[in-house]
């Protein structure tokens, strides 16, 4: 047998082997696809069948779906231009020697304050959006000289790319802001699912009349989409429990957490409900929930003295409360509390 | 057919209505039941000790415990059920870590400590990494009244050792039985509780048998004292009472009473704490309405303002209006160690105000005595505090108005420190609208030889002042010469090292509000010169002739912590094992003496 013949024979054998092999692979693929289709149908069917124990099979979905509420949040881009490397800390501390916004490189502590970051006076809480823009608001400290009441119902935006701080929106209030209530916007949170910015404001509320609001805002169009009226709210957080997505809020007048359902478009449902009181837990007191964060089914809230005065500035003590979400009861279980810094 | 259309229409409406996102949600939370809050009037402890035998016994035991080593008031034998509890308590107080805080860390003075609970440890009490058999593992808690802290020990009574100690800052332990009983006794012996429950003192036993009593937790956030809230449900007069009792100072803080329907079992739907009680009481009684009082020939109207402290207005002496309004509009605080560092503090209502230092309680009255011990007048005083005074960078001020029987009066500001450090300069800004005449008034200063009338709006520094032999620097008069001499502080009064004041005089205008209503902070914190805010009402200077006049007065006080020479200062000391705040006030402000026409 010549070399050429031998070559052809090996080629033919190889081709035959290849054909057999590709047939085998195709069959395997068909099986895999079939199994996947059945698995998918099974999963869909399983999820469609009403379950007497809804909490268990939703465990994975719930964790995932909560992630989608905040997964789009990005860090601002501009600090890179100024030589800072992520991760960054957003420093809005209020004290005698610090006013406005600072951005700090976490690893080194190096910080920057761009021109214009002090012009709105002392600032309060903040939230980031899907582009890395920072939203914050003015918040008075000790006196209203630097933060006059009529300037306090504003949302400020720090552009992710340039770092420029500008007035983003001046929100409406039922009554004209006055020195008797020097506060306006307090809580801010961004929802990645509906791309909505939620902002709580107590502007215009008086001792006898509660006129605060939560605003749902389309940040692209600077448009108020919905309002939740007649409640003075400080901290805000969004969380999807076993019965759907809700906005959790710390009341400004009472040391209590309440919640309201959020519909698909981000509007407020008609099911405002009490969650828990900070006074009812061991060691709890009259401090109000100022900052709320929910992560991995755990709510951490920072409580401070708040009485619509500027007294809190001289009370550095903040109490941190922790609650865990109880899926079986759709409630929050108290874990612990401690003084900030302890 | 029509019926079907109607049903479809209704369903469609229901569908759209339910799907439409709520553009506006005006949900109302549960309405807050109406509460009536009363702050308790102070009762001397000795009076209570004489009235309550349990308190007398407790006081005796506590005093004895301060002499023990360690100074810990132990549970009575009547409160210990078995030998293991006794062993657990004994082992705990012998453990160095458990008794770490029983003496003052600087002075080594014994502090007031009390064992609260000794019981078998519950599974939740035992950390995972601790090996302590449940039946032999005991939980011992101790409360420290000085630090308002708790210490917990887990004691293995079988092996005679303390296996875990935990210190809880700002943590109040569960009460022992004697303190529970004591809280109820203090409450039912207080006039405010007796009145609210409708107890006839002669039939106390009978009435109390109809009252269901329960003990609830509460918090005294401001005083940082051990507080509890006995609750009383009286089904006969259908009244429910929430009383806050301070077990550190043995007193009733106040009561909140409502109808029975506002309670769920023994617990009110809206629990009350010390801060809430104080805030609501002050708001309702002194911020939302005006008050009046009389002292002999004086009739005084007063109110707590949003940011101008306590204001007295329309004050009459022998039915003649003397003061149209007087108040302290700002307290400027600066620090000499660094230029530009300080605060411009407003004082005022505890809620809904732009005040940084607020009223915790309402105004109160003090009698004034001379050196011979004779009563010469009354003072109306209002306290304003930062939440955790006298901790650093916290402040306490008072508005104090003194009314003397002879028709003179003094307008003062009191500074109890303690601020951020020992280089503080305090500058209260007084606005005084005194009536020497219904029409035009004249203002003059003594130039060493005669009274010199001011013709235009201007200011003057006290360092350039000359005084009459009586000590008068200024006078405010009517054209016929009646009115007041004004005597500044030059160190002649108690707690005064001289006012070092600036005085400003401006013309009053009916159609221009220059402080008639509440003023926001009018000046910056940190100027040391005359630029304290009132100067803006002098620019450009108007004539004073023919006008009613407003006097602005800005004294300067320097704080001092030199031992033996303290001024505008406060500190915490140990007294009977608990914390006592000791203050060295600085009091500034002028006295107005009626001019006697010859």
* Nearest by Cα to A235 from A101, A122, A139, A342: A139
In this complex, do A96 and B22 lie within 8 Å of one another by their Cβ atoms? Answer: no
- Residues in B touching A280 (Cβ below 8 Å): 271
The residues near A226 (Cβ < 8 Å, ≥ 6 apart) are A215, A216, A266, A267, A268, B21, B22, B23, B24, B25
Pick among B14, B23, B29 to test the A interface (most A CBs inside 10 A):
B29
Nearest alpha-carbon partner for A336 in A284, A295, A292, A290: A284
CB contact under 8 A, A339 and B170: yes
Contact between residue B526 and residue B342 where contact means Cβ atoms under 8 Å apart: yes
Contact check, Cβ <8 Å, B25/A260: yes
The answer to whether the CB atoms of A143 and B354 lie below 8 A apart is: yes
Residues A310, B273: C-beta atoms closer than 8 Å: no
Per the CB < 8 Å rule, is B351 touching A179? no
On whether the CB atoms of residues A176 and A169 are closer than 8 A, the answer is: no
Taking only the tens of pLDDT, chain B with its 598 residues reads: 444 544 444 443 333 333 333 344 444 333 334 567 889 998 899 999 999 999 999 999 999 999 999 999 999 888 898 899 999 999 999 999 999 999 999 999 999 999 999 999 998 889 888 888 878 999 999 999 999 999 999 999 999 999 999 998 877 778 999 999 999 999 989 999 888 887 766 666 666 667 777 777 888 888 889 999 998 887 776 777 889 999 999 999 999 887 766 566 666 666 788 988 999 999 999 998 999 999 999 999 999 999 999 999 999 999 999 999 999 999 999 988 777 778 888 999 999 999 989 999 999 999 999 999 999 999 999 999 998 899 888 899 999 999 999 999 999 999 999 888 888 999 999 999 999 988 899 999 999 999 999 999 999 999 999 999 999 999 999 999 999 999 999 999 999 999 999 999 999 998 899 999 988 878 888 888 999 999 999 999 999 999 999 999 999 999 999 999 999 999 999 999 999 999 999 999 999 999 987 5
Using alpha carbons only, give the angle B413, B416, B422 rounded to the nearest 5 degrees.
115
Judge: B386–A227 Cβ closer than 8 Å, yes or no.
Answer: no
At residue A32, φ and ψ (nearest 5 deg) are -60, -45
Q: Tell me which chain A residues have a C-beta less than 8 angstroms from the C-beta of B174.
A: none
Asked whether B196 and B239 are in contact (CB, 8 A), the reply is: yes
Number of A–B residue contacts, CB under 8 Å: 158
Q: Is B122 on the interface with A (CB under 8 A)?
A: no
Going B181 to B186 to B192 to B195, the CA torsion angle's sign is positive
**Cβ pair B351, B463 in contact under 8 A:** no
Give, rounded to a whole angstrom, the gap between the first and last alpha carbons of chain B. Answer: 105
* Centroid of chain to Cα B121: 40
- pLDDT value at position A342? 58
Closest CA–CA distance from residue B31 to any residue of chain A (Å) = 12
Answer whether the bond into residue B92 is a cis peptide, omega within 30°. Answer: no
Beta-strand ranges (E) seen in chain A are 88-91, 102-105, 111-112, 123-128, 134-138, 154-158, 165-170, 185-191, 196-201, 213-218, 223-229, 233-241, 244-251, 256-261, 273-277, 288-295, 298-304, 319-326, 331-339
Place of tokens 């203050």: B583
DSSP string computed for B502-545 = EEEEEE--TTS-SSSS-----S-S---SS-SSGGGGGSSPPB-T
Chain B (154-213) residues lying within 8 Å, Cβ to Cβ, of chain A: 169-172
Task: Tell me whether residues A277 and B271 touch, CB distance under 8 A.
Answer: yes
Q: Is A103 exposed, middle or buried (0-12, 13-18, 19+ CB in 10 A)?
A: buried
Task: Tell me the C-alpha distance between B234 and B502, whole Å.
Answer: 59
Distance CA B230, CA B242 (A): 6
Encoded tokens for A109? 């502590």
Of B424, B438, B362, B366, nearest to B390 (Cα)?
A: B424
Whole-number Å distance between alpha carbons of A301 and A321: 5
CATH of B305-574+582-594, one of 1.20.58.100, 3.40.50.300, 2.70.98.20, 2.60.40.10: 2.70.98.20
* B142 neighbors B72 (Cβ within 8 angstroms): yes
Q: What is the pLDDT of residue A213?
A: 97
C-alpha torsion angle, residues B273, B278, B281, B285 (rounded to 10): -170
CA angle B240, B245, B246 (to 5 degrees): 165
* Angle of the B177-188 helix axis to the B53-65 helix axis, nearest 10: 130
List the single residue in A229, A309, A310 with the smallest CB-CB distance to B26: A229
Q: From A319, which residue of chain B is nearest by alpha-carbon distance?
A: B170
State how far the Cα of B110 lies from the Cα of B576, in Å rounded to an integer. Answer: 8
Contacts of A114 (CB under 8 A, 6+ apart): A82, A163, A164, A165
CA-to-CA dists, residue A9 to A19, A21, A83, A127, B284, angstroms: 15, 18, 67, 71, 106
pTM of structure? 0.83
- Substitution target from B20, B303, B352 for chain A, most A beta carbons within 10 A: B352
Does the CB of B22 have a partner CB in chain A at under 8 Å? yes
A317 contacts in B (CB within 8 Å)?
Answer: 387-388
CB contact under 8 A, A285 and B307: no
Closest CA to A226 of A217, A234, A235: A217
User: Which parts of chain A sit beneath pLDDT 70?
Assistant: 1-64, 96-97, 312-316, 341-342
Q: What is the DSSP letter of B500?
A: -
B352 interface with A at CB cutoff 8 Å? yes
Interface touch B27/A231, C-beta < 8 Å: yes
| Residues A132 and A104 sit within 8 Å (Cβ to Cβ) | no
Of the candidates B52, B336, B264, B352, the residue with the CA atom closest to the CA atom of residue A307? B352
Taking the CA atoms of A48, A52, A54 and A57 in sequence, report the sign of the dihedral they define.
Answer: negative
Shortest Cα–Cα distance, B433 to chain A (Å):
23
Q: Do B271 and A268 touch (CB under 8 A)?
A: no
Which residues of chain A neighbour B288 with C-beta distances below 8 Å?
207
Residues B587/B496, Cβ–Cβ less than 8 Å: yes
Strand order in the sheet with A185-191: A185-191, A196-201, A213-218, A223-229, B24-25
User: Is B347 an 8 Å CB contact of chain A?
Assistant: no
Q: Where are the domains of chain B?
A: 36-41+189-283, 61-168, 305-574+582-594
The pLDDT assigned to A28 comes to 52
Chain A hits for B25, Cβ within 8 Å: 226-229, 260, 267-270, 272
DSSP B173: P
Cβ of B342 under 8 Å from any chain A Cβ? yes
Please indicate whether, in this complex, the C-beta atoms of B342 and A96 are within 8 angstroms of each other.
yes
CA–CA gap between residue B588 and residue B468 (Å, rounded): 20
Would you state the structure tokens that stand for residue A85, as one six-digit string?
A: 């490397």
pLDDT digits (tens, 9 = 90+) for A231-260: 999 999 999 999 999 999 999 999 999 999
Q: Which of A243, A245, A134, A121 is nearest to A184 (CA)?
A: A121
Which positions 511-540 of B are in contact with A (Cβ < 8 Å)? Answer: 518, 520-521, 524
| Contact: A309, B350; criterion CB under 8 Å | yes
Of A149, A230, A267, the CB nearest to B22: A267
Kindly indicate whether the ipTM for this predicted assembly is greater than 0.95, answering yes or no: no
List chain B residues with CB under 8 Å of A233. none
Among the partner residues A266, A268, A314, nearest to B25 by beta-carbon distance: A268
What CA–CA distance (Å, rounded) separates A221 from A219? Answer: 6
Q: How far apart are the first and last CA of chain A?
A: 90
Question: What was the pLDDT predicted at A314?
Answer: 54
Which of chain A's residues have a Cβ under 8 Å away from the Cβ of B338?
none
CATH number 1.10.3260.10 given to A78-284: no
- Name chain B contacts of A339, Cβ cutoff 8 Å: 169-170
Residue A313 is nearest to which of B27, B172, B356, comparing CB atoms? Answer: B356
Give Cβ neighbours of residue B565 (< 8 Å, ≥ 6 apart): none
């Amino acid at each position: 047998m010549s070399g050429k013949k031998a070559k052809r024979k090996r080629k033919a054998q190889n081709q035959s082997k290849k054909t057999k092999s590709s047939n085998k692979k195709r069959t395997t693929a068909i099986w895999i696809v079939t199994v996947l289709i059945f698995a998918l149908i099974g999963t869909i069917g399983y999820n469609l069948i009403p379950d007497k124990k809804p909490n268990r099979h939703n465990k994975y979905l719930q964790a995932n779906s909560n992630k989608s509420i905040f997964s789009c949040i990005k860090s601002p881009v501009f600090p890179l231009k100024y030589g800072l490397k992520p991760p960054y800390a957003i420093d809005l501390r209020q004290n005698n020697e610090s006013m406005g916004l600072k951005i700090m490189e976490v690893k080194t502590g190096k910080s920057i304050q761009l021109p214009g970051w002090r012009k709105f006076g002392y600032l309060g809480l903040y939230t980031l959006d899907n582009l890395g823009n920072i939203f914050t608001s003015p918040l008075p400290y000790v006196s209203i000289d630097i933060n006059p009441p009529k300037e306090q119902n504003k949302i400020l935006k720090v552009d992710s790319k340039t770092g420029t701080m500008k007035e983003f929106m001046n929100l409406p209030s039922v009554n004209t802001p006055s020195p008797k209530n020097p506060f306006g916007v307090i809580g801010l949170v961004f929802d990645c699912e509906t791309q909505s910015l939620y902002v709580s404001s107590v502007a215009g509320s008086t001792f006898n009349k509660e006129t605060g609001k939560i605003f749902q805002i389309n940040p692209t169009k600077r448009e108020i989409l919905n309002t939740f009226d007649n409640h003075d709210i400080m901290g805000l957080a969004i969380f999807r429990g076993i019965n759907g997505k809700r906005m959790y809020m710390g009341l400004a007048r009472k040391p209590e957490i309440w919640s309201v359902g959020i519909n698909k478009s981000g509007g407020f449902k008609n099911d405002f409900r009490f969650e828990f009181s900070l006074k009812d837990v061991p060691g709890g007191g009259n401090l109000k929930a100022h900052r709320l964060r929910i992560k991995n089914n755990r709510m951490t809230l920072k409580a401070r003295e708040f009485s619509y005065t500027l007294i809190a500035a001289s009370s550095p003590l903040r109490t941190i409360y922790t609650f865990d979400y109880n899926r079986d009861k759709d409630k929050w279980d108290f874990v612990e509390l401690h003084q900030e810094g302890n | 057919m029509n019926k079907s259309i109607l049903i479809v229409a209704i369903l469609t409406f229901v569908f759209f209505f339910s799907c439409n996102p709520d553009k506006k949600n005006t949900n109302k939370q549960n309405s807050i039941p109406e509460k009536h809050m009363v702050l308790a009037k102070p009762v001397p402890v000795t009076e209570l000790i004489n009235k309550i035998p349990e308190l007398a016994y407790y006081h005796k035991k506590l005093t004895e415990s301060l002499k023990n080593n360690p100074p810990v008031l132990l549970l009575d034998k009547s409160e210990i059920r078995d030998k293991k509890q006794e062993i657990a308590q004994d082992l705990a107080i012998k453990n160095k870590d458990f008794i770490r805080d029983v003496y003052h860390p600087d002075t080594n003075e014994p502090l007031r400590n009390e064992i609260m609970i000794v019981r078998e440890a519950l599974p939740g009490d035992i950390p995972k990494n601790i090996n302590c058999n449940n039946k032999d593992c005991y939980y011992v808690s101790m409360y420290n009244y000085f630090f308002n802290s708790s210490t917990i020990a887990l004691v293995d009574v079988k092996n005679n050792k303390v296996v875990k100690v935990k210190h809880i800052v700002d943590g109040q332990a569960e009460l022992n039985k004697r303190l529970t009983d004591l809280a109820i006794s203090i409450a039912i012996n207080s006039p405010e509780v007796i009145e609210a429950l409708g107890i006839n003192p002669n039939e106390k036993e009978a009435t109390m048998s109809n009252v269901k009593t329960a003990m609830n937790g509460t918090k005294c956030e401001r005083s940082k004292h051990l507080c509890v809230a006995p609750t009383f449900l009286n089904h006969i007069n259908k009244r429910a009472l929430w009383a806050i009792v301070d077990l550190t100072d043995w007193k009733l803080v106040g009561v909140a009473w409502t109808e029975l329907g506002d309670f769920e079992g023994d617990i009110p739907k809206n629990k009350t704490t010390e801060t809430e009680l104080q805030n609501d009481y002050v708001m309702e009684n002194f911020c939302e309405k005006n008050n009046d009082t009389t002292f002999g020939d004086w009739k005084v109207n007063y109110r707590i303002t949003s940011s101008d402290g306590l204001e007295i207005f329309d004050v009459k002496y022998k039915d003649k209006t003397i003061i149209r309004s007087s108040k302290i509009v700002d307290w400027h605080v600066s620090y000499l160690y660094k230029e530009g560092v300080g605060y411009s503090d407003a004082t005022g209502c505890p809620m809904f105000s732009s005040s940084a230092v607020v009223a915790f309680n309402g105004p109160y009255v003090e009698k004034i005595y001379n050196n011979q011990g004779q009563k010469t007048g009354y003072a109306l005083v209002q306290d304003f505090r930062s939440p955790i005074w006298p901790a650093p960078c916290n402040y306490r001020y008072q508005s104090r108005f003194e009314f003397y029987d002879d028709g003179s009066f003094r307008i003062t500001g009191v500074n109890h420190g303690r601020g951020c450090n020992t280089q503080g300069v305090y500058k209260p800004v007084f606005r005084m609208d005194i009536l020497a005449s219904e029409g035009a008034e004249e203002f003059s200063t003594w130039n060493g030889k005669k009274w010199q009338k001011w013709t235009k709006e201007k200011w003057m520094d006290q360092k350039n002042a000359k005084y009459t032999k009586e000590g008068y620097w200024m006078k405010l008069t009517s054209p016929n010469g009646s009115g007041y001499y004004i005597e500044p502080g030059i160190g002649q009064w108690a707690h005064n090292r001289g006012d070092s004041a600036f005085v400003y005089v401006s013309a009053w205008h009916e159609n221009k509000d220059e402080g008639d209503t509440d003023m926001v902070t009018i000046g910056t914190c940190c100027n040391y010169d005359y630029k304290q805010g009132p100067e803006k009402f002098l620019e450009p200077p108007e004539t004073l002739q023919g006008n009613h006049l407003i006097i602005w007065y800005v004294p300067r006080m320097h704080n001092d912590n030199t031992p033996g020479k303290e001024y505008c200062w406060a500190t915490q000391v140990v007294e009977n094992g608990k914390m006592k705040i000791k203050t060295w006030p600085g009091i500034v402000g002028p006295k107005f003496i009626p001019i006697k026409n010859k």
